[in-house]
């Protein structure tokens, strides 16, 4: 089959990890007889440098004309002093909004081979962790009105509408149905009006999923529970800001942040896929970055946007095998393992395909 993929290498280690991941995808194309048409486009710092805007309209157009988008990582200290609305992050937010990517799926999985890098004690993680954070991505305080009262104050509005909450809640319950049928809603309903509203919408959706167990946690409590008892979680659904904080915390407790992919989905099958980690400018262009998070993001893309389940599974299996063979990039290295660079890690995974 023939697929159009928009590719945003981005900044820092982005181009390296994306380059390596596309080699893996090339191998899938060859082996399973598909054609992946890549169109490389600019966003973030690279776009600021080239076109003085973090998100050229051309990028949006090409993404929308594609079956899926693969993104490396955006941003870096180079653009720290650019004004707020022109920063790489502004480009990322605009990209999410203009592509309608309202559902951010962030799996926090502990890779068996990497238990040694988990910061939590073994008795807490038990036989592993597998949490799916479903974060609302195009609403809330990220996209609310904002402003200043002269020199004296500044403000942002955290707002959610009914359709926004209903659709993300549906997404979370649909995902839970394919997993362990448990949804934890996280909000701050004891203080925020928007959270009380959010919670009532989630409860409305829950009625359509009688098999799924729903519980509610306040965000402060959720931040604690992730540390003390992460095994209680299956699917977490939450708003944009709380999801930003909790998904990062969840990925960190796995100790596997260089390994974790994410999907940002629109209605239907269209989505953007990227590693959870950042652009790590300190190790850029040194063949040191761990490409695995991006490679498994490619697997997520095959599974969620292109319906190529077999091919996605093949990538995941090749990654597992490569880890089992003892190959490690610097970030996940431990005694007795074989240290490899970005390119070599990609090659080993391709050999295992």
Ligand X SMILES: CC(C)[C@H](C(=O)O)[C@@H](O)C(=O)O
Shortest spacing between CB 279 and ligand X, in angstroms: 9
Annotated catalytic residue, options 27, 115, 171, 188? 188
Rounded Cα gap, residues 167 and 67, in angstroms: 21
Residue recorded with tokens 């100790």: 255
Task: Please indicate if the annotation marks 90 as binding a ligand.
Answer: no
Catalytic residue at 307? no
**Considering only residues 239-298, where is the footprint of ligand X by CB under 6 A?**
244
Catalytic residue at 244? yes
The answer to whether residue 156 forms part of the interface with ligand X (CB under 6 A) is: no
The answer to whether residue 253 forms part of the interface with its own copies (CB under 8 A) is: yes
CA atoms 271, 279, 139, 204: torsion sign: positive
Taking CB under 8 A as the binding criterion, the range among 19-27, 98-106, 137-145, 289-297 that sits at the site for its own copies is 137-145
Annotated catalytic residue, options 115, 160, 244, 348? 244
Task: Please indicate if the annotation marks 81 as binding a ligand.
Answer: yes
Q: Three-class SS of residue 326? A: coil
**Length of the chain in residues, anyone?**
353
Q: For residue 275, give the DSSP letter.
A: E
Shortest spacing between CB 319 and ligand X, in angstroms: 22
Q: Which long-range contacts (CB under 8 A, 24 or more apart) does 199-207 make?
A: 201/160, 201/162, 201/165, 201/166, 201/169, 202/165, 202/169, 202/237, 204/166, 204/169, 205/166, 205/169, 205/170, 205/173, 206/169, 206/173
The answer to whether residue 220 forms part of the interface with ligand X (CB under 6 A) is: yes
Total chain residues near its own copies (CB under 8 A): 57
Edge-to-edge strand ranges of the sheet holding 261-265: 35-40, 2-10, 68-73, 271-275, 261-265, 103-109, 130-136, 235-238, 182-187, 213-218
Measured from the CB atom, is 152 or 190 closer to ligand X?
Answer: 190
Task: Please indicate if the annotation marks 286 as binding a ligand.
Answer: yes
Helix 309-324 × helix 342-351 angle, to 10°: 120
Rounded Cα gap, residues 95 and 101, in angstroms: 8
Using CB under 6 A, pick the residue from 23, 82, 89, 100 that binds ligand X.
89
Task: Please indicate if the annotation marks 220 as binding a ligand.
Answer: yes
Task: Please indicate if the annotation marks 78 as binding a ligand.
Answer: yes
The answer to whether residue 58 forms part of the interface with ligand X (CB under 6 A) is: no
Using CB under 8 A, pick the residue from 1, 50, 65, 157 that binds its own copies.
157
Annotated catalytic residue, options 27, 67, 142, 209? 142
Total chain residues near ligand X (CB under 6 A): 6
Question: Residues 102, 164: contact at Cβ < 8 Å?
Answer: yes
Per partner kind, with CB cut-offs from 5 to 8 A, the member of its own copies, ligand X, none near residue 184 is: none
Rounded Cα gap, residues 113 and 108, in angstroms: 15
Residue 163 has which token pair?
Answer: 């359709």
Instruction: Label residue 300 exposed, middle or buried (CB < 10 Å: 0-12, 13-18, 19+).
Output: buried
Cα angle, residue 103 at apex, residues 98 and 107 outer, rounded to 5°? 130
Annotated catalytic residue, options 26, 52, 208, 220? 220
The answer to whether residue 25 forms part of the interface with its own copies (CB under 8 A) is: no
The answer to whether residue 93 forms part of the interface with its own copies (CB under 8 A) is: yes
Residue 311 has which token pair?
Answer: 């091919």
Per partner kind, with CB cut-offs from 5 to 8 A, the member of its own copies, ligand X, none near residue 269 is: none
Task: Please indicate if the annotation marks 310 as binding a ligand.
Answer: no
Give the residue numbers marked as catalytic: 142, 188, 220, 244, 248
| Site residues (vs its own copies, CB under 8 A) | 75, 84, 87, 89, 93, 118-121, 124, 141-142, 144, 146-149, 151-162, 188, 190-194, 196-198, 219-221, 223-224, 226-228, 241, 244-249, 251-253, 257
Known binding-site residue numbers for substrate: 96, 106, 135, 220
Known binding-site residue numbers for Mg(2+): 220, 244, 248
| Site residues (vs ligand X, CB under 6 A) | 89, 92, 190-191, 220, 244
């Amino acid at each position: 089959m023939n697929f159009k993929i928009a590719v945003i290498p981005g900044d820092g280690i982005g181009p390296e990890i994306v380059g390596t991941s596309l080699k893996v995808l090339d191998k899938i194309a060859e082996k399973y007889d598909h054609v992946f048409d890549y169109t490389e486009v600019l966003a973030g710092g690279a776009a600021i440098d080239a076109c003085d805007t973090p998100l050229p309209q051309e990028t949006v157009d090409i993404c929308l004309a594609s079956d899926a988008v693969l993104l490396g990582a955006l941003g870096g200290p180079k653009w720290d002093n650019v004004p707020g609305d022109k920063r790489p992050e502004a480009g990322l937010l605009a990209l999410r909004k203009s592509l309608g990517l309202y559902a951010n799926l962030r799996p926090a999985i502990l890779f068996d081979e990497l238990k040694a890098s988990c910061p939590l004690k073994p008795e807490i993680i038990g036989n592993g962790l597998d949490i799916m954070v479903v974060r609302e991505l195009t609403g809330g305080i990220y996209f609310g009105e904002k402003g200043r009262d002269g020199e004296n104050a500044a403000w942002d509005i955290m707002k959610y509408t009914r359709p926004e909450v209903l659709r993300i809640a549906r997404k979370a319950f649909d995902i839970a149905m394919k997993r362990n049928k448990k949804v934890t809603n996280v909000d701050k309903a004891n203080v925020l009006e928007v959270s009380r509203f959010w919670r009532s919408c989630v409860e409305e959706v829950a009625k359509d999923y009688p098999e799924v167990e729903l519980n509610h946690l306040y965000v402060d409590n959720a931040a604690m529970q992730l540390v003390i008892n992460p095994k209680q979680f299956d699917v977490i659904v939450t708003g944009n800001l709380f999801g930003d904080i909790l998904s990062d915390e969840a990925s960190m407790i796995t100790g596997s942040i260089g390994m974790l992919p994410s999907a940002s989905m629109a209605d239907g099958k269209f989505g953007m896929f990227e590693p959870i980690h950042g652009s790590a400018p300190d190790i850029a262009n040194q063949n040191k970055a761990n490409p695995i998070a991006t490679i498994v993001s490619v697997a997520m893309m095959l599974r969620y946007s292109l319906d190529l389940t077999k091919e996605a599974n093949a990538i995941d299996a090749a990654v597992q095998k490569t880890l089992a063979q003892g190959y490690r990039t610097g970030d996940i290295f431990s005694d007795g393992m074989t240290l490899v660079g970005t390119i070599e890690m990609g090659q080993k995974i391709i050999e295992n395909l």
